[in-house]
Amino acid sequence: MKTFVVIGLGRFGSAVAMELSSLGHEVLALDDSEENVEKVADKVTHAVTGDARDPAVLRALGVRNYDCAIVAVGVDVGTSALVTLNLKELGVRQVICKAQSHVHRKVLEKIGADRVVFPEHEMGVKLAQGLSSSNVLNFIELSDDFGIVETAVPREWQGKTILELNVRAKYKVNIIAVRKRGEEAFNVTPGPETRMEAGDAVVVLGCTEDVNRLQDL
């Protein structure tokens, strides 16, 4: 079990807090709105009304003893930046922040956020990837340039083994998992002799441009 502090209980923060709690982790949820706190109070370990901009509040709650803090107060750049600074200065091991824009993300990264998520942008990219090709089953953006995509096996790959395809050299991507037709689980350690067939699915890692190019095969 890990311990988490979730600061900001809007839709994003509340969802994160409740999901982490449902997965069996200890969650301290904090917001300056008593109404927001009451909505999650019975679904997390601890729910507290308080102003995270005040270091004394965070110190009194013992946030430095938690494994990770999630800063979900993404509307106001100044507020999220101040909260992030407070958490870093108090010695929280990992601070993950929500950003509303690319500029917001850069600000948070500059002041020491360990990771910055951009939910609206990431969901937009994921939706666009899914709409652009019926073959794309799932897409995860790792950065502006790299992603992981789950896709139906391209027609050009069907009937060939991973060794025969030599995807790293020919297509500049890496196959990290294969799911055979009719099976629910992925094989996350596919061997070079694994043969691709129609109806199979693969998970590949690579530059977004190269991953997108697979849809034309």
Q: Is pLDDT at 23 greater than 70 in this prediction? A: yes
The total number of residues written for the chain in this structure = 217
Which conformational region is residue 3 in: left (phi greater than 0), alpha (psi within -120 to 50 degrees), or beta? beta
- Give the per-residue pLDDT at 38: 96
Domain 3-117 has CATH 3.40.1190.20: no
**Cα(52)–Cα(83) distance, integer angstroms:** 6
Where residue 118 falls among pLDDT bands split at 50, 70, 90? confident
Residue type for position 3: T
53-65: average pLDDT? 96
Residues forming a β-bridge with 152? 201
Q: Is pLDDT at 72 greater than 60 in this prediction? A: yes
Written as six digits, the tokens of 182 are: 């009719």
Q: Is pLDDT at 207 greater than 80 in this prediction? A: yes
Q: What is the pLDDT of residues 146-203, one digit of tens each?
A: 777 788 888 899 999 999 999 888 888 888 889 898 888 888 888 899 999 999 988 8
Residue ranges of the domains in the chain?
Answer: 3-117, 122-216
Do the first three CATH levels of 3-117 and 122-216 match, i.e. the same topology?
no
**Cα(85)–Cα(112) distance, integer angstroms:** 7
Class of 122-216 per CATH? alpha beta
Model-wide pTM > 0.85: no
Determine which of 1-15, 46-60, 82-96, 121-135 has the lowest per-residue pLDDT on average: 121-135
| Pairwise pLDDT comparison (168 vs 63), residue with the higher score | 63
- Give the per-residue pLDDT at 123: 60
58-67: average pLDDT? 96
Distances (CA, A) of 172 to 36, 179, 204: 47, 21, 10
- Give the per-residue pLDDT at 205: 85
Q: Give yes or no for a contact between 79 and 53, defined as CB atoms under 8 angstroms apart.
A: yes
**Cα(69)–Cα(65) distance, integer angstroms:** 10
Q: What is the pLDDT of residues 126-150, one digit of tens each?
A: 555 554 544 545 555 556 567 777 8
Closest CA to 8 of 57, 52, 46, 67: 52
